[in-house]
Amino acid sequence: MEASFRLIVLQAEADLLALSRQHVKDCIVTALEPTQRWFLIQTNTDAERDLLAVNETLLKEFKEVFRVRGCSDALVDGLAFTFEPQETVDRQYAGNWYWALK
């Protein structure tokens, strides 16, 4: 992955967080290594996750964050967004995010 995309990712995290917080006030957005094309949006509850994950407009806005920064359609189409609540991680993985994301 070239260095310029890494810089775009760092800048985009703040935009993705702002877009997410328009719907769920207490959430976290993180670019996951090593590909940095995979983003984790952490919420507190299953209901908050569902609110974000089914929002097609939000997903389009997420991708637009990268398009306006000059990313190609192929790169944008390859982006992945995972919505996961702490509630599920606690219930199914004893609070262990490592196992939840494997």
Q: Are 30 and 39 in contact (CB under 8 A)?
A: yes
pLDDT for 6: 84
- Please confirm whether the linkage preceding 85 is cis (ω < 30° from 0): no
Q: Hey, is 81 helix, strand or coil?
A: strand
Query: Nearest CA to 24 among 36, 32, 16?
Result: 16
- Distance set, CA 24 to CA 37, 91, 97 (Å): 22, 21, 20
First to last CA, the chain: 22
List the pLDDT tens digit at each of the 102 positions of the chain.
Answer: 455 888 899 899 999 999 999 999 999 999 986 567 999 999 999 999 999 999 999 999 999 999 999 999 999 999 999 999 999 999 999 999 999 988
- Residues, the chain: 102
